[in-house]
Chain A
Amino acid sequence: MAETGRTGTAAIDESLVIARPRGGRNIFSKEWILFILFVGPNLFLFSLFSYWPMIENVRLSTQRWDLLSPVRLPVGLDNFEYLWQNSTFHKVLWNTLYFTVAAVGISLALGLLVALLLNQRLRWRNGARAVVFAPFMLSGAAIGIVWAYIFDPRFGFLAEMLGWFSIRSPDWLNRPEWAMPAIIIVYIWKNLGFTTVIFLAGLQGIPQDLYDAAKIDGANVFWRFRSVTLPMLSPIAFFLVVTSILSTFQSFDIISVMTDGGPVDSTNTLIYYVYEQGFVAFNAGRSAAAALVLFVLMMAITLVQLRYSESKVHYG
């Protein structure tokens, strides 16, 4: 312990320069061993249970296999060609984009608003935060069941509320044009608490003196928001954008319980398609190809984000 400490002390200054791309051309040091010790178990489990299956998946995407027969037929890029030409898959891509942009955009905007609200010195705000966060903890499958009941155009809670304003409830889950908005509403309802709490943590971490300084400079509320709050929230916002996109891309339970991707594929997103092709249609090859598309898209978005944000993000 003490020895490790001394080595650590020797290396302080460089190790703390985070932005530096490489740790220099150091000879093998105890810090490396420590790093391997800290990161190793995690990476080992990932290799076994995530990377390896993913590599398998790449192989599978060039095969035709029904998950049962002993024969896996090599088919080259046929599965990708199929997806490229398939109109359902085009629709699936569009649905994914629609869902992701709407769900991420709205839940981030609302989350920030609610966080700003709950950051005020209001009584019961902790209770309100608890209520807002609660849906995030509930199982998507259970929530889907409850919401299907809420959306029911005749017995549902929402139909009743719309009725107060003399609006007739659409048949949410049975109409192609309404099913996706319904799914988005449920997603936002479930995840708003998460964005709110994370933003709130960010807001509370902003040192008060920055605001005081801005006040002295004569900045009004909106200007203080622009010049202090937003920049200081940028690391948190970056984290939320990335994780929210990844979570919408992989949002499965709600769709599976509420619509099974329907009606007429209107809520069939990439992740659902991967599942449907794999475990319902038993087209392991196509499922793997679609999963690869999903993976590449997510990777691309994250890398762009990472490149863009790691340089610009302001670490408080």
Chain B
Amino acid sequence: MGNLSPQQQLVIQRMFGYGAMLFVVLLIGLPLFWMLSGSLKSTQEIYSTDMQWLPSSPLWSNYREAWEAAPFGRFYWNSIVITLFGAGLEIINATFTAYALAYLRFPGKNLIFILILAALMIPNQVTILPNYVFFGSTMQSLIGESWINTYQAIILPGASVAFGTFMMRQAFLGLPREVIDAAKVDGAGHFRILKDVVVPMGKPVIVTFALISLVAKWNDYLWPLVITQTENMRVLTIGISYLFDAEGNNEWGVIMAATFFVVFPLLIVFLFAQRFIIDGLTAGATKG
């Protein structure tokens, strides 16, 4: 290395960088490619000992078959409703709670922080039955009607947020104090500071969390499966299970096509959100 000019060193460094990047992209991307290619293969082709990178003739009918196996249009609608409301409530809850934990004074604040962290550690499996009973018998006796098989029952247990609160609190604590001090000196109240200072500056973390929240709501399976009872209330992830055969004879090509239905909207959202994250991150980088 010693006798290389800095220019040459830079070239080697770059080449190494691009090589590594290509390797990482292939490592992560190939399984996704494999899913897409599988969604266009026949079952025979999937179970063929000489591996095909691409299907010999793409079997688009897998997508039609998957779409016709269950009312996927309705599933899409339901997924969109519960994702938008669920993630929306989470983002609002997380932002306000994180702000309060980072900037507001309150006796026993640390205890509340730990209490919220503790919620992160309560496994879903534990809450399913009591929550179900709450929306069923308890609601029945409280308001005279059961909320089982309703949107609000799918959404509400997931509207409280520990992870996002934790994530945003960490980020808010990292914001430069001078800016907030300055806002306070200018006489701004907490709502103003939140709206005009913390949210714009914390945009990267808020957007990142929003994305995580959207993804989690969209992919949620166990709770929507249990709390919904009829086809017209099911969400998209459960649609995949409409394609599994009770006796284990599965058409993998069709199942992978259904998997694509679930994945596709997220990829689209991500394509757009990607832009936001980049802007946010760049802003964060130049600001320092």
Pair A5/B20 contact, Cβ less than 8 Å: no
When chains A and B are docked, how far (Å) is the Cα of A248 from the Cα of B127? 18
Question: Is A235 at the interface (CB under 8 A from chain B)?
Answer: yes
Contact A15-B104, Cβ < 8 Å, known A53-B122, A316-B174: yes
Question: Is B83 at the interface (CB under 8 A from chain A)?
Answer: no
Selected A-B contacts with CB under 8 Å, 16 pairs: A4-B191, A12-B181, A49-B157, A51-B115, A54-B126, A132-B24, A134-B267, A141-B237, A142-B263, A145-B240, A155-B46, A235-B174, A243-B163, A246-B120, A299-B118, A316-B174
The count of residues in chain A whose C-beta lies closer than 8 Å to any C-beta of chain B is: 120
Chain B residues whose CB sits within 8 angstroms of the CB of A125 once the complex forms: 21
Pair A45/B21 contact, Cβ less than 8 Å: no
Among B27-35, B54-62, B67-75, the one that faces the other chain is: B27-35
Question: Is B167 at the interface (CB under 8 A from chain A)?
Answer: yes
Question: Is B12 at the interface (CB under 8 A from chain A)?
Answer: no
Contact A295-B24, Cβ < 8 Å, known A31-B104, A35-B106: no
Pair B28/A155 contact, Cβ less than 8 Å: no
Pair B126/A57 contact, Cβ less than 8 Å: yes
Pair A137/B266 contact, Cβ less than 8 Å: yes
When chains A and B are docked, how far (Å) is the Cα of A21 from the Cα of B105? 11
B25-52 contacts to A (CB < 8 Å): 25, 27-32, 34-35, 38, 46-49, 51
Question: Is B119 at the interface (CB under 8 A from chain A)?
Answer: yes
Among A69-77, A90-98, A222-230, A270-278, the one that faces the other chain is: A270-278
Chain A residues whose CB sits within 8 angstroms of the CB of B237 once the complex forms: 139, 141-142
Give the interface of A toward B (CB within 8 A): 1-9, 11-12, 14-16, 18, 21-24, 26, 29, 31-32, 34-39, 41-46, 48-54, 56-57, 67, 114, 117-118, 120, 122, 124-126, 128-142, 145-147, 149-150, 154-155, 157, 160, 189, 192-194, 197-198, 200-201, 204-209, 235-236, 238-239, 242-243, 246, 249-250, 252-253, 271, 274-275, 278-279, 284, 287-288, 291, 294-295, 298-299, 302-303, 306, 315-316
**How many Å from the CB of B148 to the closest CB on chain A?**
15
Question: Is B100 at the interface (CB under 8 A from chain A)?
Answer: yes
Which 6 pairs show the lowest CB-CB distances between chains A and B?
A5-B189, A45-B160, A207-B288, A23-B105, A38-B100, A53-B130
Q: Which residue on chain A has the smallest CB distance to residue B222? A: A252
Pair B121/A246 contact, Cβ less than 8 Å: yes
Contact A204-B284, Cβ < 8 Å, known A5-B192, A271-B125: yes
Pair B107/A22 contact, Cβ less than 8 Å: yes
**How many Å from the CB of A207 to the closest CB on chain B?**
4
Question: Is B11 at the interface (CB under 8 A from chain A)?
Answer: no
